[in-house]
Amino acid sequence: MQNSIAHGWRVAVRTVLLQIGATVAVALIATTHGWRVGLAALVGGMIIVAGNTLFALRLFGRGVAPARDVLRSAYAAEVLKWLWLCLALYLAIAVLKLPFPGLIAGVLAAQVSFWIALIAIR
């Protein structure tokens, strides 16, 4: 039998590493269209990586807890992730004025790699 918290941490770390790899790869490819597009792809992907890292820290950071507390942690983690996502995308688009195609390419690369990780990493 596996320790579900330790297993959750391992899956979270592997998922984040996969997301970082996908983000860096897309950012390097995007630099062929200019350094700002590459930077935007890197920022977009890292926004998703940071959100998923916040989620994992909030969900697994408490250790063993009653089911009700774990469910509340999951809800709080999701709200925290969405608040981070909205704030970071606003800053990237409205304040930093990063090129939108690069930003979305990074976001998509990180998010698709997250979905692949959920299927492939067990």
Q: Provide the percentage of residues in the chain whose pLDDT is more than 70.
A: 97
What is the separation of C-alpha 54 from the centre of its chain, rounded to a whole number of angstroms?
8
DSSP class per residue in 9-34: HHHHHHHHHHHHHHHHHHHHHHGGG-
Domain tally for the chain?
1
- Which H or E run contains 54? helix 35-60
Residue range 94-101: mean pLDDT, rounded:
96
DSSP label at residue 66: -
Integer Cα distance of 12 and 53 in angstroms: 8
Range of the domain at 111: 4-120
Report in angstroms the alpha-carbon separations of 120 from 36, 56, 61, 82, 93: 32, 18, 24, 24, 32
Tell me: the pLDDT tens digits for 47-94?
A: 999 999 999 888 877 777 777 888 888 899 999 999 999 999 999 999
